[in-house]
Amino acid sequence: MHEVSLVREMKRLVEHEAELRQFSRVKSIHIELGSNACVSQDALRFAFESVRSGLLEDTNLDIHTILAKGCCRGCGLSAMMTEHIGVCAACGALILAAGGDEMRITELEVV
């Protein structure tokens, strides 16, 4: 479950920011998570519960899903994708997804 490592790294980054910017509590963390990032939202939330202490005691974890995009080379149809490979709905050609593999903290609400 690499989500535990991701959450630990997220906590480390937040603690670093807290030191730099002098805040003591985080109300919420907003993250963008790509649909093809191979990260389970449920596992991420579960792992987040396990690191709740200090700064993150009452923090709300807000996850915004980013879908990958694909463009058919056969007919040019654009599509939002939830898998790495899909089939074009118009012509049946294979479509490779681009993007959707990111995970980033986009906003911290702090006290």
- The residue ranges that bind Zn ion (CB under 5 A) are 72, 74-75, 77, 88, 90-91, 93
Q: Rounded to the nearest whole angstrom, what is the least distance from the CB of residue 96 to Zn ion in the complex?
A: 12
Least separation in angstroms between CB 35 and Zn ion: 21
Nearer to Zn ion, 13 or 93 (CB): 93
Phi/psi at 102 (nearest 5 deg)?
-90, 155
The residue among 16 and 73 lying less far from Zn ion, judged by its C-beta, is 73
Q: Which is nearer to Zn ion, 54 or 74 (CB)?
A: 74
Chain centre distance of CA 9: 13
At 27 the three-state DSSP class reads strand
State how far the Cα of 67 lies from the Cα of 14, in Å rounded to an integer: 25
Cβ(29)–Cβ(64) below 8 Å: no
Q: Give the shortest CB-71-to-Zn ion separation in angstroms.
A: 9
